[in-house]
Structure 1
Amino acid sequence: MRKSIFVFTKGLLFLALPFLCFGCKGIPKSKDQAKPRVLISSDIGGTDPDDFQSMIHLLMYSDLFEIEGLVASPYGPGRKKDFLDIIDLYEKDLPNLQLRSQGFPHPDSLRSICKQGETEIAPFSGFRQATEGSDWIISRAKKESDRPLWILVWGGLEDIAQALHDAPEIKENIRVYWIGGPNKKWGVNAYSYIAQNHPDLWMIEANATYRGWFIDDGTPDNSMLNGYYDTFIKGRGHMGEDFKNYYDGQIKMGDTPSLAYVMNGDPNDPMGESWGGSFTKIDRSSRSVFERPSTKNDTVAAYDVIEWRFKGPVESIPKDSVCFTFKILGQTWNGYYLGAGTYGVRYSSKKPETGTYTTSSEIPELDGLTGQYTSITPWPGKPSTDDYILGEHWYGDRREPELFIGEQQGARTVAKHRKAFLMDWAERWKWLE
C-alpha cells in the first residue's frame, strides 16, 4: 500500500513539472533522456472494442514514448484505418495536450507508422507470409539503437511469428509483452511456432494478470471503475467523447497493462512491482498432445496448448491444408493435414472449463469425432514430455493463491495499482477540459 501512495504522489509531481516522471523507473526522468521505444501490435477493430480504449490511453501518454509502429493485426473486421480514426481525434485534442507537454508526437508521424498486419489466423505451421506489419517489425527491430524495442501485443502473435521466421536475429533487440488468454486461444498456432522455435525470446506471457485491470477484486478500489467515465472523462475533448462508444464508457482496456508495465517500475525486472503486473520466470510452456479422442477425465492446465492428432487416409495434398473443422464451445477452428495420414488441430482454453468438441469433414475418418477435456489452474500445469522448453527470459503469471482474483491467476499484481493508475490518468483528462 505504501508503494501505491508513493507512486500517486509522484504522479502529481510529474503533472506539475512536465519533464519529470511519476516515479516510473522505465520512463525518462528528464527531457534529455531517451524515451522507451514501443511498437503496438493490436487487433483493433476486431473481436473486442477495448483496443480503442487502450489506443486513446496510449495517445494521451504518447509524450513519454518513442512510438515506432502501430500494426493492425485483427481477427475478422478491423484494419489500420481504425488506428487512423483515433489519431484523427488525437489531432483535434493535441493543442490542449501541448499546453502541458511539448513531447507529444505529430499526428502525421503517427499515421506514417500505421501498418497493416495479418488478418487471418496462422495455419498449423504458425506462419504464412510476410505482411506490411511483419516487415515493419523487422525494420524497427534492426534500427540502430542502444535501447530495446518493446513490442506490446494486444492481439495475436501472427506478425511477431512471421517476423521471427523471416529474421530470427531480431530477437537480440526486442522485448515482448503479450496479452495472452483469449488471444492465445485465437493465435495458438503462432504461439506454438514461437515457443518451439524461438524459446530464447524475451517474453512476458500475461494470460490472466491483465484482468486485474477491470474485474472486481473485492476491495473499495473497485468502485473507481464504476462511474469513472462520468467523473473524469465525460465532456473532456474529442477522445473523451469517443470513449463513450466502447462499452458505454465502462473501463476495460485489457491491453493497457502492457503499456503500464513500461510506464511504471523497472521493465528490466518482470519479477518486480509495476502497474503492468509482477511475473514469475518459467522454463516451460504446458502442452498436451492427444493421439486419440480425449475425455473430461483428461485434465490440462488452462492456457495450455492442447493438440489433437487423428489418423486418416494418406493424401497427396500439401501439408497445412485445411481438411476438417473442429467445433468447441460454440466456435469453429480449422484442422490441418500434417502428412503421412496424420491430421491435427490445436486449441487453448482461456480459463478453467470443461469443453466438448466435435469434428466435421468430407473425409469419413475425421467426420463426427467427439470428445472432452477439463482445464484447471494454475498454469503451467504438471510437467510433461510434450511441454515446450523455454529459455531464461520467458515470464508468466504469478502462481501464489493469494494473488488470484477468483480464477484469474496473478491478477492482484495489477489490481493493487489500479487506483494509482486511474488517478494519474484522471489528471491527464483535465488537460482536455
Structure 2
Amino acid sequence: MICNKSILLAFVGIFIFFGSSSCHAQLNESAKPRVIISSDIGGTDPDDFQSMIHLMMYSDLFQLEGLVSSPFGNGTKKDFLDMIDIYEKDYKQLLPNAPGLLPPNLLREITKQGQKDAAPFKGYTTPTEGSEWIISCAKKKSDQPLWVLVWGGIEDLAQALHDAPEIKENIRVYWIGGPNKKWSINAYSYIAESHPDLWMIEANATYRGWFMDNDSPDELKAYAFYENYIQGRGELGKDFIHYYEGKIKMGDTPSLAYLMNGDPDDPTGESWGGSFEKIQRSSRNVFKGGSSLQDTVAAYATVEWRFDGPEINVSEDSVVFEIEAQNQTWPGYYLGGGIYGVRYSSKGPEQGYYKISSPIAELDGLEGNYVSTVSWPGKVTPDDYQLGYNWYSDKQDPALYIKVQQGAKTISKYRKEFLMDWAERWKWLEK
C-alpha cells in the first residue's frame, strides 16, 4: 500500500505540473531543475538514442519541459516518440523504484518539431514549433532558470533568441559543441555576435571525457559496460545494442549529468558534466580571398572566408556556391554587393584543405588550406566575437587533456561514479 500511495502522489504532482499543454502555466516550486532538451536524435550520430535512454531512466530528477527535434541530419520528433514507446514497455517495472519517473504520455505531450535544416548565413530563419516552445517555457513564471541542453544543432535556440531576446534573463544553456558547432556555425555565430550576454556553457571537447576509455577500469570500458550492466534488462536494454553495437558513447549526456552532480550555478566547480572556465571572446578569423597553410586558427573557431565576385540578381543569403572541406560540403552564400561568404569550424586540430564549386566562374575552383590547433579559444584576433560575463568553455590546463581533447579529464575522472550510478538503475529491469 505504501508503494501504491507513493505512485498515486507522484501522478498527482505530475498532473498539476503538466495539466496545461502550454508552457505559460505557473510552475509549482521544486528543487528539481527545469530542463528542455534540443537534440539531433535520428540524425548523423546514433549516440543521441543512448542519451535519450539515460534521460528517461533519470526523468524523476528533473522538471522536463520539452523535447525538441533539431538538426543536423534526417531526424524528426518521431525519433523521440519511438524511444518513448520503448520506455513505455519498461515504465511499470521502473516506477516502483522511482515514483517520480515521468509517464510516457506526458513525454509525448512535450515533444516538439524544431528546425530541420541548418541556418543560413544570417543565423536564423522562421519560427518552428520547437523554437516557440522554448520561448513559451522560458517565459513561464518560476524562481528557477530554464536549462536548455542542446545535444545537436543550435538553430532552434538561435531562432528563439532572435524572436524573443528577453528570454535570455530566464535561461541557461549547456551546448555540446565540437562537431555540432561545425554544422551549426551560422546559428552559433549569430548567438555569439548578437547575444554575447547569454549564460552559456560551450563544451567543445570536455564532453568527450564521458566516453574516452583511457583511465577507465576494464569492466566500465565502452565495449564492456553493455555486457556487464545493460544486456538482458528490459526493452530499453534490448534497444541499446542497436547504437554502436552497445558501446557506450552518449556524448550529449554530460549536459544532463552536469545538473545531477555538483553545483550547476558554478561551472568552474566539480561536476559529472565537467568543469569549465570563463572565456571573454569566441575565436573568429575572417579571410578575404582565401587562406593557406600559413594561416593558423584555433580548433572550434569560426573560420569565415569572404570572396569578391560579380554582383548578381539574387536575394541576400542565397546559396550560390559550395565549399568542400575535410570531405564534407557546406553551402556558401551571396552577401550582397558582389561579396560571397561561407563559415566553417573544425571539430578539433587539423590541417585542412578546401575547394569551391560554383556556377559563378570567379568562384569555381578556388582552393586553399588552413591549420587549426588547440587550445581553444586560441590567440586574440581583431575578428573575435566579444562575449559577456557568463560564457564558459573547456578548461585550457594541459593536465586536463585526454590526447587532444581539451578539458576531457574533468569528466573522465568521475567515470566510475556516474556509470555505476546508472548501473544501479539498470538493475531495476532485471527479471
Tell me the TM-score range normalised by the shorter chain. Answer: over 0.9
Shift of 1:89: 1.1
Q: Relative to structure 1, is the Cα distance of residues 300 and 101 closer, same or farther in structure 2, using a 3 angstrom cutoff? A: same
Aligned twin of 1:260:
257
Cα distance in 2 for partners of 1:402, 1:237 equals 40
Task: Specify the alignment match of 1:118 in structure 2.
Answer: 115
Give the unaligned 5+ runs of structure 2.
1-6, 8-27
> In the alignment, which residue of structure 1 is the partner of 2:34?
37
Match of 2:282 among 272, 280, 285: 285
Query: How far is 1:364 from its partner?
Result: 0.8
Amino acid at match of 1:353: E
Partner of 2:87 in structure 1? 90
Aligned to 1:302: 299
The 1-side partners of 2:219 and 2:305 are apart by 41
Q: Give 1:35 deviation, angstroms.
A: 1.2
Instruction: Give the residue type in structure 2 aligned to 1:247.
Output: Y
Query: Which residue number corresponds to residue 363 of structure 1?
Result: 360
Pairing partner for 1:374 from 368, 371, 382: 371
TM-score norm. by structure 1 comes to 0.92
1:300 and 1:253 map into 2 onto residues whose CA distance is 29
Whole-Å separation in 2 of the counterparts to 1:217 and 1:300: 28
Deviation for aligned residue 1:128? 0.8
Which one of the candidate residues 35, 46, 68 is aligned to 2:65? 68
Is 1:430 the counterpart of 2:427? The answer is yes
The whole-number CA distance in structure 2 between the counterparts of 1:280 and 1:406 is: 20
Q: Tell me, what secondary structure is at the counterpart of 2:300? A: coil
Post-superposition shift, 1:315?
1.8
TM-score calculated relative to the size of structure 2: 0.92
Partner of 1:366: helix, strand, or coil?
coil
The DSSP-based 3-state class of the residue aligned with 1:365 is coil
Look up the match of 2:10: none
2:44 to 37, 44, 47: 47
C-alpha distance in 1 between matches for 2:252 and 2:130: 19
My pick for the range that moved more, 215-224 or 353-362, is 215-224
Q: What displacement does 1:34 show? A: 2.9
| Partner secondary structure for residue 227 of structure 1 | helix
What are the Cα deviations for residues 389-433 of structure 1, in whole angstroms up to 9, with x where unaligned? 000000000000000000000000000011100000000000111
Aligned counterpart for 1:420 among listed residues 403, 417, 420: 417
Matching residue of 1:192: 189
What is aligned with 1:183? 180
In structure 2, distance between residues paired with 1:239 and 1:81: 17
Question: What secondary structure does 1:115 align onto?
Answer: strand
Greater Cα shift, 219-228 or 184-193: 219-228
Residue matched to 2:170: 173
- Looking at structure 1, the residues matched to 346 and 72 of structure 2 have their Cα atoms a distance apart, in angstroms, of 18
Partner of 1:15: none
Cα-to-partner distance string for 1:127-165 (whole Å, 9 max, x where unaligned): 011101001000000011111100000001100000000
- Give deviations 1:4-52, integer Å, cap 9, x for gaps: xxxxxxxxxxxxxx9xxxxxxxxxxxx9943110000000000000000
Q: Contact 1:216–1:222 at 8 Å: present in 2 too?
A: no
Q: Secondary structure at the match of 1:424?
A: helix
- Equivalent position SS for 2:83: helix
Q: Which amino acid aligns with 1:214?
A: F
Matched with 1:99 is 96
The AA in structure 2 aligned to 1:131 is T
Which of 180-189 and 67-76 deviates more? 67-76
Aligned counterpart, 2:400: 403
RMSD: 1.6
1:13 maps to what in 2? Answer: none
The 10-residue stretch of structure 1 (291-300 or 182-191) with the greater mean CA deviation from structure 2: 291-300
Segment of structure 1 superposing worse, 239-248 or 211-220: 211-220
2:247 aligned partner: 250
Q: Structure 1's 201 and 300: CA in aligned 2 closer, same or farther, altered over 3 A?
A: same
Counterparts of 1:34 and 1:215 in 2: how far apart (Å)? 32
Q: 1:410 to 1:402 in 2, by over 3 A?
A: same
CA contact (8 A) 1:115 1:132 kept: yes
Is it true that 1:337 corresponds to 2:329 in the alignment? no
Secondary structure at the counterpart of residue 338 of structure 1? strand
Q: Relative to structure 2, which stretch is displaced further, 208-217 or 419-428? A: 208-217
Aligned to 2:268: 271
Q: In the TM superposition, what is the alpha-carbon distance from 1:53 to its structure 2 partner?
A: 0.2
By how many angstroms is 1:222 displaced?
Answer: 8.0
